[in-house]
Structures are given as C-alpha cells and as structure tokens.
Amino acid sequence: MSKTNENPTYWKSLNQLANNEEYKKFLEREFPENASELKDGMSRKNFLRIMGASIALAGFAACRRPVEKILPYKTRPEEVVPGNPLYYATAMPYRGSLTGLVVETHEGRPTKIEGNTEHPASMGNTNTQMQGAILGLYDPDRAHGITSDGQKKSWDDFLSFAKQNFTSDKKVAFLCEANSSLTLNRLKKDALKKFKNAEWVTYEPFGEQNALEGNNQAFGKKLRTYNHFDKAKVIVSLDADFLQQGSENVTNIGNYTRGRALESTKDSMNRLYAVESNYSLTGSNADHRLRIKNSEVELFTYALAASLADKIGGLEAFKGYNNHFSNHSWVSVLTEDLLNNKGESIVAAGNDQNPAVHAAVAAINMALENKDKTVSYYDVPTFETGNDTQRFYELTRDLKAGKYDALVMIGTNPVFTAPSDLDFSSALKATKTTVLLSQYHDETARQTQWHVNRAHFLEQWGDGTSYTGVKSVIQPMIQPLYGGKSEIEYLYAIINGTSGDGHKLVRETWKSYLSSTNFENQWEKILHDGILPNTEFDTPRVSLSSSFATYMNQAFAQAKKPGDNEIELVIKPDNKIIDGRYGNIGWLQELPDPVTKITWDNVALMSLKTAATFGVKNEDVVSITSGGKTVKLAAWVLPGHADNSITIWAGYGRKGIGRIADDDFGIYVDNKYKTLPFEVHKFESKNVFPFVTTDNPLYHTSVTVKKTGEYYSIASTQDHSSMEGRPLARQGTLDTYREDPHFAPEMEEVAGIEKKSYRKFPDALYTPQEGYDYLPQWGMSIDLNSCIGCGTCTIACQAENNIPVVGKEQVKRGREMHWVRTDRYFIGNDAGDPEIIHQPVPCMQCELAPCEEVCPVAATTHSRTGLNQMTYNRCIGTRYCANNCPYKVRRFNFFNFSKEFLSSGDDPEVIQMAMNPDVTVRFRGVMEKCTYCVQRLNRAQIDRQLETKNQSFKPVDGSVQTACQQACPANAINFGDISDPNSKVVKVKHNERNYIMLDVLNTRPRTSYLAKIRNPNPKMS
C-alpha cells in the first residue's frame, strides 16, 4: 500500500509508456485479446509490458493515495485487492452544510459517490450535484496551480507572499462562502485575533441569508429554520422549492416522500400546497398549486397571516391587514386546513423571498404551534451576527473606498454573482492585496492578485456540520490532482505565513469535541462512521420579538400590488448548476431540467398567455431589458408559469471557465484558448446576474421584453408533453384509491374492453422459457407516488455505467445516452395551468423482450436471472431492437461518443479516471441500455457463492442495490429478487397500485410501477 507512494515517478513513466503510439493502436483494435491481432510487430514480451502498463494506467491514481491513515467504511483489508472496490466515509460541503457520503474507490481512485446511511442529512441518499461531484473532481479544466497576475507560482511563493503582506497591522477583509467547517471557524477566530479590526463576511448568491434575517427580525436571534416534512400533514410552500433548492434538499425529499408513502388504503398522506410564479420541482409535486407573480407571494403570505390572525393568537401584528388576496379562495381554504392541523403543519418560504416574508412565516408557524413539532429553529454557532446581505454590501463599499489593505476570498465568485450596481471588480481594483481560493480560474480569479487553486472536497481533509448540526470529518480519497489547497490550509497560510497540514489542523479542532483520554479510538470511529452522532445544534426557546409588529408594518408599507400588465422578471438559481458553480460538470449540463426537460441552456420561461402577448413561441429569441441591462435569450413556454412573469435561471453565460461551462465552449489553458472536439453552440452572454441589483436582488417588477426575430435552438429531451390519453404514468386521488384500490392496473388500453376480460386470454402461443429457480430473479418496482422527478437516478446511472456526455447538438438530434430518463407529462384540461407527473423509465427487462427476437445476430439475449442483456461485442448496430422496444429505452452510439468524451481535455486520463472499471466503455455503432447494474448483481452473486460455499446463489435481500435505487433521495425505487417471496420488492409489487406499463403488449416487464396518488383538498375546486 505504502510502497507505491514512495516512488510515484515509476508509475508515471509506465503511464507514459501506456500512452505511446503503439499502445494507442493496440487499444484501438476491436478485440485486443484476439491472439492473431497481436502477431504484427508485437513480441510477447512487449505485449506483457504494455498490458502491465495499462493495468498501471488503471491504478494510475495509486501514486496519489493519501499518506495519512484513512479507514475503509465496510471492510478493513490488509492490502488493496485489485478489482475490489473499497468504500470510505466522507462528507460533501454542499451550499453551506455537509452531507455524509460513502465513496467507492478502485485502487485508490474514487469512482462513485453514495449517501452515508448513518448520516442524518443523507440517510443513504444523494442529489444530482453530489452524484456529479465525481466528474467535478476529474475535471481537467480546474485550475492547475497557483497564479499571480497570470504568472505560475508555487505554494512556497504564496507562503512568502503571505508572510510579507498579511502582517497583523494590516486591515484585512475576509469574504467567505457559506461554509460549516469547524476548523475554518477555529482559524477564523485566530484570524480575527491576529488582524485587528478585520471583517469576516459570509456571502452566498442564493444562500439562506434572507431566512436568517427574517428569523432574526421575528425572534431577535439569527436562527436557521429546519422543517420536518415527514411530520407534517399540511405543507404550504410560499415559493419554497424545498425539494430542489437549499443545502438540505436531500433530507427534505426523504422526509417529504416519507410523509406521503402509502402501503395500503388505510395509510394517510400529507397535502402540499404550492404558491409560486415559476413551475418549480416542488410545485410539480404539489397537490394544489397557485400560480401568482413572484412579487405577489409576499402579499399572499400577509393575507394568509391576517386571516389566521382572526382565528388564533400570536399574529396580532397582522390583525386588520388586507390586500387583494384577502378574499382569495386559497386564503380561506388554507386557513381552515392549517387550523385543522395545528402542530402538524408547515408553512415554508423560499430563500429568494425577502426577510419580511420569512419573519411572517416564522410568526405563522409559532402561532400554529409547529415549533419543535414540525419546525425547528437552530442556533448555529458558526454564524456571524448581523444581516449577511447588508454586511456584504457595506464591505464592498468600504473596499471601493479603499478602507482595507487586503481582501481574502474563500470559494466565492463575487465578480460573477454580486449585484451589478455594486461593481465588485472596482472593489478588487481599489484593494492593494487580493487573494482568492477557488477551483476554477474564474471571473473573480482573473481580477485577483493571487489565485490559489482549491482542492476538491474529495482531495482534502476537512470537517463541518450537517444542516441540523451533526458533525462530520471530510477524508481525502485521493491526493490533490492539481496540487490544490483546502480552505483551512489556505487560511492557515494567510494567518501564519507557514504551511499547515490539513490533517493536523482538523485533528487539532476535533480535540475539543472528543475526550482526550481515548481520542484515537473515537477519531477512528468517526472516520469509519463518517459522523459524530447526537451533535445537533440546540434549539433555543424563542418568542416573537417586541419589534416584530413595527417591522411588519414597514413591510406592509413596502409591499404593494404590482400592476396587472406589468411584466416581472425573476432570477432563480439553476436546478442543476445552482449559481454556476457546477457549470463545468457535463453530466449536470446534459441532465434534462426536471420540469422543462431543457439541457445545456437557460431560457426565458413564461406562460402560454404571456408568450402570446409577446407573439413568441419556443426558441424565439427575446431581448429582456431592465434597469439599463439587456440580455437576449430564447423564450420557452412553460405551461403553469405565472402570467406576466418571466423566470430565468442564473449561472449560465460564463467565459473561460471550462469546456462545458462556457458559452462558446472553450477554455483558457495557460492563457491559450482551446475548444472541445464536439461542439455545443451556446448563445452570447446568457449571464443574467447583471439584472441582480442591491435594490432588486430577487426580482424586477417593470421589465420590457421585445421579440428580436432571431431564433436560437434549445436542446430539450422531451418534445411532446401530453400523454395522449394513454395510461403510461398512472395516477389517482387518495379517494379514488380508497374506493377502488385496483384503479391503476385496470386502466384500459383497448377501448371498450375491460382489462380483466382480455387478461384471461393465453399469455403466449408457446410456453415461454423461464429463469432458473436456483438463481435470483431480478425485478424492480418504481413508486410514482414517491418519485419527485429530480433526475438523480439519471446521473447516478451515468456515473455508474460510464455513460458519455454527447453534447447539445446530439441531444437536439434526440441522441442523448441516458439509460434511465424521467418522463414529464402535463395533465389537465387547462393548458395554461396543468398538473405534472414524473415517470422514470429505465429498461423494463421484459421477460418476453420484443428487442431480443428481432436482433439478427443474437446480440441481445436473456440471462438466467431474467435480465435482458446486451452483448456489445456482438452488436452490429441494426437498431432494430430499439425500434421494437415499446419503452424506447435503448440508446445507440451514433458516433464514437465515449472516445470523444474521454479524450477531451489536456490530460484525458484525468477524465478516464472517473470511469467505472467494472463496466465496458461502449464504442461506435453499438446499442446500449440499462442492465440493472449487472456488474453489481454479479459481484453480489459471486460474493454470496463464496460466503455459502456455493450453497446459495441468491444474494440476501437488500445486499445489492442498483445505482439509481441507491442514489434516489425519495427511495422511490425498490429492487431485488422476485423469486424470494419475502423480499422487499415482492412485497411492494403486491401493492394494489402496482401496474405494468403497456401490459397490453404482454412483454412481461420485470420493472413495474406504483401509481401516483394525489391528495387534493375537496374544498378546493
């Protein structure tokens, strides 16, 4: 294990050998193992050398294994067994708090991220960004070293620079991303001790600062709101996209779906009301959805509070208030429903709503006695006092005024994201010394004196707390690929001018949390488990502050009804790349947006009606002007969007970040501009951050929109959104379910003939071959009632199965390669305001698979465990199987996608390191599709055989999970052996809601669905 660490150059040289022409040619061959291929010009010795090299290439990362002792999560081997993955616990800093993860590493090379079942923020689940983090790690576009004014510099240069410039007499400003790191917090104290009258400001473009400020106004204390969606019966979301946005969304999804899970007709489920302008993922899962302008959400909240105030105490501040929503049917219905569920309800406001809304919501939840039942208010020790937003504004102004000698930035990108009228770049110019730690040589980095390339969280030691305060340690899985530094090493260097070892710094911090007597044992346990349990933040007893009423009155004064024909512009964080920080991760860029199914771009979302008024259709370019700023964007009609309102996702329109993130799809490497082999034409400057100003940080109320007559094509993976009355994704209401539990499987596909009647017909004219009963018979069940449509399964599958990114042009041609897609259908008669249902569709693994019989070369056949398997090497690519697949889940390599994907970048091996060695990389001209992660199944089967000495071939239920199942934050996917009557999946399949898609075809899929159940309020009509 440690042998390899001593002489890394040895490996490198072999690795170089592996890259010589001869070897490349050899790899290009169709069948490298075919002996005849080897005759020409390649002696056996030579062959062995090259094979050795290629193995070394696989273990290329071995030389980078951290020197410190880290502990595997499951097994603790004497030495690494090549080919057997090891699992380590770590945690991912995601938008200001940690989520516990378990990382699969092959020969010291992290390849797959899973949730840590023991971590409360994860509960074994992840979200798209977490799944994508692996590709972020191996991103060849990350900054490759420290630079100062465009010059390459070494770490030692930086140290000496720090020594000279960060002397205690300097007036230093610290600008830090939202970061829960305990060590960083400890060093922060040191810093503030050392540098007299220094400022430490936390800045997040789409952070929780408004919520904090709201609670601060309500309770006089800066508290973090946490909603227990699993405990609530009624949830009211006021523009709160809690299933998608926010650092705790994994927890929220889990809790929310747990609160809706139905095992039988007796179970009850929560009811979700959504009030929003954009059609958010949360809105698409709501039982009732009210589309109003973003600027009206505030008014709606007050109206709701006011009507509650008449019934219950604690809301005196709202007594007598009224506006045009006061008589709205929603207000009365919500009031009633909330009052009926006192202490079992949640009112949640979105982070993009202003503090007053959050204050009001806090008051409502208090009044409804939800506190400590469904809503907790956490006291987070690492917070600074004061309003983060205001403090950031002031800091910038002071910087511009030259009040500071130095500015230290940690992980933020204010030049790109800060309000445009602040003009942050001038603040940078005005400051003598500016240093930045960030992963990419981004907009801010290019204007900063010193840029230190940041280590990926998988490369660094660190720590932090979950959203609820549970402490975890971040273990490195691999040594920094580009010699990056973690925020703690960076800050330590700035304070002390010397290099601090991350490992030591973290242990130092943790001394105070662990008893000194048996520190080592506890430390090892924490590394092993990934958490220090029972360390939630404390929830102080709070009451409405005296100033609350006056504060609200000011808010009432400011909140006024927008003009009816006034066009409103809302800037929302992107569902995939947030504020652009994940913009260079191809998997995320190519993941269809959960609601619009758009890939690679951002668009101007608007309702049917609004589009009609502008006379635009999808892909017409509109120029949007507000506050002197203009942006040209493709329009996109999103049914269900609020009228006279336009929503645009932030984070796009970047330059010089990376091949994927950039508009024109190129990158600066050593000040040279390079472009990708496959083209994705993007539009000039789709950056909408310029719209964000200090006066209107959230939305603009008076916007002018003009149709330019230009046309810009958008790659959407789903052109047709109506189900055409076909029973594909089936749903019913709770009442219909209780009356007729079997409503879903009975939905008819032959007009006028009931399912039951033709079910009696013989299944087939022949007796089909069955699977072998001594082997497991794999089956899957997908619960549409739990599925929220986030698309995490797609990314997890992509990561597990080495699925290439194909680029926008190919997606536009309908050639995306995702093995599991999520279909999104609009339902309802009102085209302007439809419901949405999401349906993930992987390969159904039909027992009588239509794809198999039509393959002329028997490249797709049935396994003894009931899998419909592809033999890539046999496939000649007639695409007949894809034609004959009614579920359209087969994907064809029209070009050499994998090769393009894996050979992009300056050092391609880096991306190649992200590949899963257990899965073949497919070549041009072959068909591919979901295999139920057969590599996992076979591994589990073999392990089981070894355990039981070939007594049993059937893995224990739950011992093997497919990638999609494991990642799914909603636990919507069940998978297992259907020949085992006690397995979970069999139990689930016995649910009355269980139905088979297109069962009229008698393809006998192994994958079945559970119908979605909505829980509408009868009073709402």
Partner 1 sequence: MSKSYEFVPEPPLVQGNHTFGSITALIGDIPERETPKGWYIAFGVANLLLLLLVALLSYLVWEGLGVWGLNNPAGWGWAIINFVWWVGIGHAGTLISAILFLFRQHWRTAINRFAEAMTIFAVMCAGLFPAFHVGRIWVIYWVFPVPNQMGMWPNFSSPLLWDVFAVSTYFTVSLLFWYVGLIPDLATLRDRVKSKTSRFFYGMFALGWTGSNRHWLNYEKAYMILAGLATPLVLSVHTIVSFDMSVSNVPGWHSTIFPPYFVAGAIYSGFAMVVSLMIISRKIYGLEDIMTVDIMEKMNIIMMVTGNMVAFSYLMEGFMSWYSGYIYERGIFWLYVVGPYAWGFWILMFCNVINPQFMWFKKVRRSVTLTFLVATFANIGMWYERFMIIVASLATDFMPSSWAYYSPTWVDYLTYVGTFGLFFTFFLLFLRFLPMVAISEVKAGLPQADPHYYEEDDQLEGSNGAGSIVIQPNESV
Partner 2 sequence: METKENKQLHGILAEFQNPATLLHAAEAVNNAGYNKFDTFSPFPIHGIEKAMGLKKSKLGWIVLGFGLVGLIGAVWLMVWVMSSAMPLSISGKPLIDPPIYVPIAFELTVLLSSFGAVFGMLFLNGLPKPYNPLFNSENFNKASDDGFFLYIESEDALFSEYKTTELLKDAEAVNLEKIYD
What is the binding site for partner 2 (CB under 8 A)? 764, 766-770, 847-850, 852-853, 858, 861-864, 1004
Nearer to partner 1, 548 or 892 (CB): 892
Cβ-in-10-Å burial (0-12, 13-18, 19+) of 534 comes to: exposed
Determine if 730 is a binding residue for partner 1 (CB under 8 A).
no
In the complex, the smallest distance separating the C-beta of residue 191 from partner 1, rounded to whole angstroms, is 53
Cβ-in-10-Å burial (0-12, 13-18, 19+) of 724 comes to: exposed
Among 856, 946, 981, 1018, binds partner 1 (CB under 8 A): 856
Q: Which helix (H) or strand (E) holds 283?
A: helix 281-285
Determine if 618 is a binding residue for partner 1 (CB under 8 A).
no
Determine if 844 is a binding residue for partner 1 (CB under 8 A).
no
- Structural Rg of the chain based on CA atoms: 28
Among 240, 317, 621, 875, binds partner 1 (CB under 8 A): 875
Whose CA is closest to 249, among 222, 229, 275? 229
**Cβ proximity of 459 and 480 under 8 Å:** yes
Nearer to partner 1, 393 or 887 (CB): 887
Nearer to partner 1, 479 or 716 (CB): 716
In whole angstroms, give the CA distance from residue 438 to residue 440.
6
Among 74, 857, 942, 948, binds partner 1 (CB under 8 A): 857
In whole angstroms, give the CA distance from residue 427 to residue 409.
13
| Residue 533 CB partners (closer than 8 Å, separation 6+) | 118, 470
Nearer to partner 2, 77 or 768 (CB): 768
In the complex, the smallest distance separating the C-beta of residue 854 from partner 2, rounded to whole angstroms, is 9
Using the rule CB under 8 A, give the single segment among 504-512, 545-553, 893-901, 1013-1021 that binds partner 1: 893-901
In the complex, the smallest distance separating the C-beta of residue 875 from partner 2, rounded to whole angstroms, is 15
Nearer to partner 2, 861 or 1017 (CB): 861
Using the rule CB under 8 A, give the single segment among 37-45, 185-193, 240-248, 919-927 that binds partner 1: 919-927
| Residue 880 CB partners (closer than 8 Å, separation 6+) | 854, 855, 856
Q: Mapped to the 3 state alphabet, what secondary structure does 220-274 carry?
A: CCCCEEEECCCCCCEEEEECCCCCCCCCCHHHHHHHHHHCCCCCCCCCCCCEEEE
Determine if 893 is a binding residue for partner 1 (CB under 8 A).
yes
Determine if 725 is a binding residue for partner 1 (CB under 8 A).
yes
In the complex, the smallest distance separating the C-beta of residue 1003 from partner 1, rounded to whole angstroms, is 8
Q: Which partner, partner 1, partner 2, none, binds residue 874 by CB below 5 to 8 Å per kind?
A: partner 1
Nearer to partner 2, 5 or 861 (CB): 861
In whole angstroms, give the CA distance from residue 370 to residue 347.
9
Cβ-in-10-Å burial (0-12, 13-18, 19+) of 43 comes to: exposed
Site residues (CB under 8 A) for partner 1, limited to 740-799? 749-753
Nearer to partner 2, 433 or 868 (CB): 868
In the complex, the smallest distance separating the C-beta of residue 831 from partner 1, rounded to whole angstroms, is 15
Q: Tell me the C-alpha to C-alpha distance, in Å, between residue 67 and each of 461, 476, 498, 503.
A: 12, 10, 20, 10
Q: Which partner, partner 2, partner 1, none, binds residue 849 by CB below 5 to 8 Å per kind?
A: partner 2
Among 722, 757, 903, 948, binds partner 1 (CB under 8 A): 722
Using the rule CB under 8 A, give the single segment among 490-498, 654-662, 696-704, 720-728 that binds partner 1: 720-728
Number of Cβ within a 10 Å radius of residue 812? 18
In the complex, the smallest distance separating the C-beta of residue 770 from partner 2, rounded to whole angstroms, is 8
Nearer to partner 1, 570 or 714 (CB): 714
In whole angstroms, give the CA distance from residue 185 to residue 980.
52
Among 175, 567, 728, 793, binds partner 1 (CB under 8 A): 728
Whose CA is closest to 476, among 865, 148, 70, 900? 70
In whole angstroms, give the CA distance from residue 567 to residue 560.
15
Q: Which partner, partner 1, partner 2, none, binds residue 538 by CB below 5 to 8 Å per kind?
A: none
In the complex, the smallest distance separating the C-beta of residue 859 from partner 2, rounded to whole angstroms, is 11
Using the rule CB under 8 A, give the single segment among 235-243, 362-370, 456-464, 809-817 that binds partner 1: 809-817
Number of Cβ within a 10 Å radius of residue 710? 13
Nearer to partner 2, 753 or 764 (CB): 764
Tokens 């790659």, located at residue:
715
Cβ-in-10-Å burial (0-12, 13-18, 19+) of 443 comes to: buried
In whole angstroms, give the CA distance from residue 608 to residue 637.
6
Among 853, 906, 907, 947, binds partner 1 (CB under 8 A): 853
Among 8, 72, 639, 925, binds partner 1 (CB under 8 A): 925
Determine if 649 is a binding residue for partner 1 (CB under 8 A).
no
Among 42, 827, 882, 919, binds partner 1 (CB under 8 A): 882
For residue 977, the cross-strand partners are 778
Q: Which partner, partner 2, partner 1, none, binds residue 645 by CB below 5 to 8 Å per kind?
A: none
Q: Which partner, partner 2, partner 1, none, binds residue 43 by CB below 5 to 8 Å per kind?
A: none
Q: Which partner, partner 2, partner 1, none, binds residue 848 by CB below 5 to 8 Å per kind?
A: partner 2
Which ranges in 113-200 belong to alpha helices (H)? 128-137, 155-165, 182-194
Q: Give the amino acid at 867.
A: L
Backbone torsions φ then ψ of 297, nearest 5 degrees: -55, -40
Backbone torsions φ then ψ of 164, nearest 5 degrees: -65, -45
Nearer to partner 2, 848 or 973 (CB): 848
Determine if 883 is a binding residue for partner 1 (CB under 8 A).
yes
In the complex, the smallest distance separating the C-beta of residue 767 from partner 2, rounded to whole angstroms, is 7
Q: Report helix angle 209-219 to 548-558, nearest 10.
A: 130
In whole angstroms, give the CA distance from residue 675 to residue 111.
26
Q: Which partner, partner 2, partner 1, none, binds residue 121 by CB below 5 to 8 Å per kind?
A: none
Nearer to partner 2, 342 or 864 (CB): 864
Determine if 38 is a binding residue for partner 1 (CB under 8 A).
no
In the complex, the smallest distance separating the C-beta of residue 31 from partner 1, rounded to whole angstroms, is 9
SS3 of 81, please?
Answer: coil
Residue 1017 half-sphere exposure, CB side, CA atoms within 13 Å?
24
Q: What are the tokens at 722?
A: 């109506």
In whole angstroms, give the CA distance from residue 446 to residue 451.
8
SS3 of 463, please?
Answer: strand
In the complex, the smallest distance separating the C-beta of residue 857 from partner 2, rounded to whole angstroms, is 11
Q: Which helix (H) or strand (E) holds 732?
A: strand 731-733
Nearer to partner 2, 357 or 849 (CB): 849
Whose CA is closest to 361, among 238, 274, 452? 238
**Cβ proximity of 459 and 151 under 8 Å:** no
Q: Which partner, partner 1, partner 2, none, binds residue 827 by CB below 5 to 8 Å per kind?
A: none
Cβ-in-10-Å burial (0-12, 13-18, 19+) of 1017 comes to: middle
Q: Which partner, partner 2, partner 1, none, binds residue 768 by CB below 5 to 8 Å per kind?
A: partner 2
**Cβ proximity of 978 and 709 under 8 Å:** no
Q: Which partner, partner 1, partner 2, none, binds residue 557 by CB below 5 to 8 Å per kind?
A: none
Among 815, 864, 939, 987, binds partner 1 (CB under 8 A): 815
Determine if 828 is a binding residue for partner 1 (CB under 8 A).
no
Determine if 924 is a binding residue for partner 1 (CB under 8 A).
yes
Determine if 723 is a binding residue for partner 1 (CB under 8 A).
yes
Which residues contact partner 1 by CB under 8 A?
718-726, 728, 749-753, 810, 813-816, 821, 823-825, 839, 841, 850, 853-858, 874-880, 882-884, 886-888, 891-896, 924-927, 998, 1000-1001
